[in-house]
Structure 1
Amino acid sequence: MNNVNSLAERVVTLLKAFCRSENHVKQIQAQIILHNLQSNTTITHHFINASQSHNLLNTVLPLFFTTSLSPKPHIFIFNSLIRAFSHSHIPHIPLSIYTHMHKNSIFPNNFTFPFLFKSLSDSHHFIQAQCVYTHVVKLGHVNDLYVNNSLLDVYASCGRFALCRQLFDEMPYRDVVSWTVLIMGYRNCGRFDEALFVFEQMQYAGVVPNRVTMVNALAACANSGAVEMGIWIEDMIRRNGWELDVILGTALIDMYVKCGRIEEGLRVFSNMKEKNVFTWNAVIKGLALAKSGEEAILWFNRMEFDGVRADEVTLLAVLSACSHSGLVEKGRLIFGVLVDGKYGFRPNVKHYACMIDLLARAGRLQEAFEVMRCMPFEATKAMWGSLLVGSKSQGDLEFSEFAARKLVELEPDNTAYHVQLSNLYAEAGRWSDVERVRGMMKERELTKDLGCSSVEVEHQRHVSELLA
């Protein structure tokens, strides 16, 4: 027995102090198998951690999935495996481990379920989560706060908000995590007013929010225009003496600039000790949305001068700012160096959409069309919309007709596009083509709904979504 304990201590020491490479992990694994140490919870805990840090988790499973092990591995080992794999973004493995436990009569406890539910939440596996929850009920863990919080997260991530709210209301205990999961769930699916309503209920319940709560509440304020609530949150942050770290500060900036309070956003920016690319992006995007193109480019230049490397979102915001402010040459220059690879990545479809919108707004229709023709993507609805709106403003019926026909091809059941094409033909006096389009609409049972949004309005929505 003393020899076994001594060996176990040496293996633990090796795992904690000397396991620095994949080869070390594999050598220790061989010793664990050779001396049948798989049931030692201390060894396996450290071995799982070492395997995770060296991306070797998959090699761990065979150690415990064999049915010939004696004694049977402790539940702590399987809980450690589920926890490790729940962070590995391999969604099916934690459920496989759980299934293996059941087949081998290794009964889960209340520590098993939170990380199992986390993996099911990440992969949006609602049905599997419901099945697992029957075991929670059967084993008597329905009142466990951590189990319920993790199940709340599953329901929220799967968009099952009736169930999410029902579970929340029925929970005998709730903590800040319970409230935050509910707020985050509503925020992530775009139900911003409901997220803020829950945030207010949280205050009445006397639960003190944490930083994650505040970030999600600020995001809901930003997207619903609830600037007064955002100001109240900043005041609460100040009263609590919280430092504006990079995540919380960036959320506050984003809220102010999206609500049109650019100066307040810049004040928060200047008060932050630490900033990252997301912080700079929040400012530049805000200026782009406010149509302050020159100032957006000024901040973009400051960002580069400060040594912060621009990412895809930065360039999208700058190009959008150029488009809204008519800064054609500046936009062309920035897009050109982006295409040349200066920033370490190639322009994506959204960058091309911004560039096409910039050229179309400026009346450079042929140039916009050439960009569309030469890009490595299929032209999108937003691009053809830009060309249509730009050509209409220039009175170019040829380009207008071409773009409208492309929109009809892309969305043959969109009434607005058919009406737009019909109107263009009417302007040109091409009545036979008008009748042909009306015939197509009748064939598809499309009616000229007076409430149907115009192409211009729909196009503006698409352009705005580029920066969302």
Structure 2
Amino acid sequence: AEKVLDLFDEMKIEPNQFTLSTLFNACAVLNNNRAMKIGKKLLDEMPENYRNDNITSTSAIDMLMKFGDVESAERIFKSMKTKNIITYNATIKGYVANEMFEKALDLFEQIHLSVTSVTYTIVFNACAKLCNDRAMKIGKELLAKMPENYRNNNIISTSVIDMLMKFGDVESAERMFRSIKAKGTNIYGALMNGYNLNGESWKCFKIFEEMKEKNIIPDEIEWNILIGACSKSGMLHHCQYIVNQIPL
């Protein structure tokens, strides 16, 4: 991303909307003082008619949200005449990243477009973080509407299990887990983490055995969750067994 900005510094021509999108994306990734300075300068100089280009404006919103400048991102969002679902997703995701979960749900409820798999994941994450009556209602309603084929998307399913466990609805999280055909390590991690949160740490050991049977190797996150389960369960023989399995 630094090289993108280096190249831009050498440019002697005005950037078009495609160049601007690339530069905004590079600034969002870098998110340092240089990136903030260049990104905001480009935005100030951006021709007014570019604001209605969804790709350029969405890149600008994403960049500003990464900078923590929510107010400027909101101004861009409001100034756009036509918004697509990608623009809504970027703005909701920005609210979540800046821990403005109520605002994320407010904007989600204003969407009158077909939502995507990305929308589902972002909103489930917002509901999990907020974890109040409103979040539980929205999260469960959205889950009930979710297309069946999304269950086999590991990213969405992980966010669903995490949300349900945060709600304390262990049974629904387990049902979701069992309905997933191909499970990645992150799915197992979300379930075990949920058991730890809900005082059912002993169930983690059964899940670990299932992972072993299916030759799924835990990564560092899952090992840490299992160690957490050991300390909470007080089942010493299981703890010793888990510790012996951890690769050196």
* TM-score, with length taken from structure 1: 0.46
Provide the residue aligned with 2:98 in structure 1: 290
Provide the residue aligned with 1:217 in structure 2: 23
CA contact 2:89–2:122 (8 Å) conserved in 1: yes
Aligned CA distance change for structure 1 residues 417 and 250 (closer, same or farther; 3 Å): closer
Q: Any gaps of 5 or more consecutive residues in structure 1?
A: 1-191, 448-468
Aligned CA distance change for structure 1 residues 365 and 267 (closer, same or farther; 3 Å): same
Amino acid corresponding to residue 233 of structure 1 in structure 2:
L
SS of residue in 1 equivalent to 2:114? coil
SS of residue in 2 equivalent to 1:302? coil
Provide the residue aligned with 1:196 in structure 2: 5
Alignment of 1:396 with 2:186, yes or no, is: no
| Greater mean deviation of Cα atoms: 213-222 or 287-296 | 287-296
CA contact 1:256–1:262 (8 Å) conserved in 2: yes
CA contact 2:150–2:156 (8 Å) conserved in 1: no
Provide the residue aligned with 2:50 in structure 1: 243
CA contact 1:422–1:433 (8 Å) conserved in 2: no
Q: Distance in 2 between matches of 1:251 and 1:437?
A: 45
CA contact 2:164–2:173 (8 Å) conserved in 1: yes
Amino acid corresponding to residue 309 of structure 1 in structure 2:
S
CA contact 1:218–1:251 (8 Å) conserved in 2: yes
Matches within 5 A, 1:305-384: 308-326=113-131, 327-339=135-147, 346-349=150-153, 350-375=155-180, 377-384=181-188
Could you give the per-residue CA deviations for residues 61-89 of structure 1, whole angstroms, max 9, x where no partner exists? xxxxxxxxxxxxxxxxxxxxxxxxxxxxx
Provide the residue aligned with 1:60 in structure 2: none
Q: After the TM superposition, which segments of 4 or more aligned residues of structure 1 sit over 3 Å from their partners?
A: 345-348, 402-409, 414-441
Could you give the per-residue CA deviations for residues 281-321 of structure 1, whole angstroms, max 9, x where no partner exists? 211222233333332222122221xxx33222222222222
Could you give the per-residue CA deviations for residues 131-156 of structure 1, whole angstroms, max 9, x where no partner exists? xxxxxxxxxxxxxxxxxxxxxxxxxx
Provide the residue aligned with 1:48 in structure 2: none
CA RMSD of aligned residues (A): 2.8
SS of residue in 2 equivalent to 1:309? coil
Q: Distance in 2 between matches of 1:392 and 1:378?
A: 23
Aligned CA distance change for structure 1 residues 425 and 297 (closer, same or farther; 3 Å): closer
CA contact 1:422–1:434 (8 Å) conserved in 2: yes
Q: Any gaps of 5 or more consecutive residues in structure 2?
A: none
SS of residue in 1 equivalent to 2:50? coil
Amino acid corresponding to residue 91 of structure 2 in structure 1:
V
Q: 1:279: Cα distance to partner? A: 1.6
Aligned CA distance change for structure 1 residues 407 and 228 (closer, same or farther; 3 Å): farther
Q: 1:247: Cα distance to partner? A: 1.9
Q: 1:429: Cα distance to partner? A: 4.7
Matches within 5 A, 1:436-451: 436-441=241-246, 446-447=247-248
Q: Distance in 2 between matches of 1:415 and 1:334?
A: 31
Name the structure, 1 or 2, with higher relative contact order (CA <8 Å, separation 6+): 2
Aligned CA distance change for structure 1 residues 210 and 322 (closer, same or farther; 3 Å): same
Q: 1:406: Cα distance to partner? A: 5.0
CA contact 2:121–2:159 (8 Å) conserved in 1: yes
Provide the residue aligned with 1:257 in structure 2: 65
Of 80, 83, 92, the residue aligned with 1:272 is 80
Q: 1:359: Cα distance to partner? A: 0.8
CA contact 1:227–1:259 (8 Å) conserved in 2: yes
CA contact 1:404–1:417 (8 Å) conserved in 2: no
Aligned CA distance change for structure 1 residues 280 and 401 (closer, same or farther; 3 Å): same
Amino acid corresponding to residue 44 of structure 2 in structure 1:
D
User: Identity of counterpart residues, as a percentage?
Assistant: 23
Q: Distance in 2 between matches of 1:315 and 1:419?
A: 27
Q: Distance in 2 between matches of 1:264 and 1:230?
A: 12
Q: Distance in 1 between matches of 2:182 and 2:220?
A: 23
Provide the residue aligned with 1:421 in structure 2: 226
Could you give the per-residue CA deviations for residues 424-463 of structure 1, whole angstroms, max 9, x where no partner exists? 446545444444444444xxxx32xxxxxxxxxxxxxxxx
CA contact 2:27–2:39 (8 Å) conserved in 1: yes
Q: Distance in 2 between matches of 1:323 and 1:223?
A: 25
Could you give the per-residue CA deviations for residues 394-424 of structure 1, whole angstroms, max 9, x where no partner exists? 3322223334555665225x45644653564
* TM-score, with length taken from structure 2: 0.81
Provide the residue aligned with 2:216 in structure 1: 410
Higher helix share: 2
Q: Distance in 2 between matches of 1:432 and 1:250?
A: 53
Aligned CA distance change for structure 1 residues 429 and 274 (closer, same or farther; 3 Å): closer
| Greater mean deviation of Cα atoms: 328-337 or 271-280 | 271-280
Of 280, 293, 302, the residue aligned with 2:110 is 302
CA contact 1:222–1:258 (8 Å) conserved in 2: yes
Larger radius of gyration: 1
